[in-house]
Homo-oligomer: A and B are copies of this chain.
């Protein structure tokens, strides 16, 4: 465990143990502006996403990968909401995630967005295994991001900042405070739905 991990311990609070890759993942915003992600790491993240499950193996997920310091990266960064830009610019890469919501036959793919979420979750788990942090953003100019992507037949969903976690102190407020705040979730009980015996069933 690095010094950094020990000063900002945001491990999930659970009543039974979770695998550390899940328990220790969290969406940080403080990224090391000098860190470079390797080609092998980016490939591993895409491989993780690629091998996610999807409805009838439709694999609706698509990705655009841009590294900090490139023209393409600046174009993607510029589509982000202003608050996100202030910290996301320091991440080593920005990965645009989009989904094909209609199949090649023109039929709707009802699970395309759901499955894209699964793929990015797998990407995030692999990032954690690589010692990288990720933060997904839904705050961007959808029209401009669609223009930036050369493919007209996909729907942009999120932009994922990928990089090496850094000290919270490098963030401006309100982000510095959020970086060290306790992580909160609904309880397991609050997530459970009853199954209702049916009258006359």
Interface residues of A (CB under 8 A from B): 12, 14-19, 21-23, 25-27, 40, 43-44, 46-53, 55, 57, 59, 61-66, 71-72, 75-76, 96, 98, 110-111, 113-122, 124-126, 129, 136, 138, 147-151, 154, 157-158, 183-186, 188, 191-198, 201
Q: Which B residues lie within 8 Å of A66 (CB)?
A: 195
Whether A76 touches B195, Cβ cut-off 8 Å, given contacts A18-B48, A47-B14, A188-B47, is: yes
**Shortest Cβ distance from residue A58 to the other chain B in the assembled complex, whole angstroms:** 10
A4 to B14, CA, bound (A): 31
Q: Is the CB of B113 within 8 A of A185?
A: no
Number of copies: 2
Q: Is the CB of B191 within 8 A of A51?
A: no
**Nearest B residue (CB) for A65:** B192
Q: Which B residues lie within 8 Å of A47 (CB)?
A: 12, 14-16, 18, 188
**Shortest Cβ distance from residue A185 to the other chain B in the assembled complex, whole angstroms:** 5
Q: Which of B43, B72, B185, B193 contacts A15 (CB 8 A)?
A: B43
Q: Is the CB of B185 within 8 A of A14?
A: no
Q: Is the CB of A50 within 8 A of B126?
A: no
Q: Is the CB of B51 within 8 A of A12?
A: yes
**Nearest B residue (CB) for A194:** B150
Q: Which of B72, B98, B118, B198 contacts A117 (CB 8 A)?
A: B118
Q: Which B residues lie within 8 Å of A122 (CB)?
A: 22, 121, 125
Instruction: Pick the 5 closest A-B CB pairs, nearest first.
Output: A117-B117, A121-B121, A72-B195, A114-B117, A19-B129
Q: Which of B18, B61, B197, B198 contacts A51 (CB 8 A)?
A: B18
A90 to B104, CA, bound (A): 35
Q: Is the CB of B52 within 8 A of A121?
A: yes
Q: Which B residues lie within 8 Å of A154 (CB)?
A: 193
Q: Is the CB of A138 within 8 A of B157?
A: no
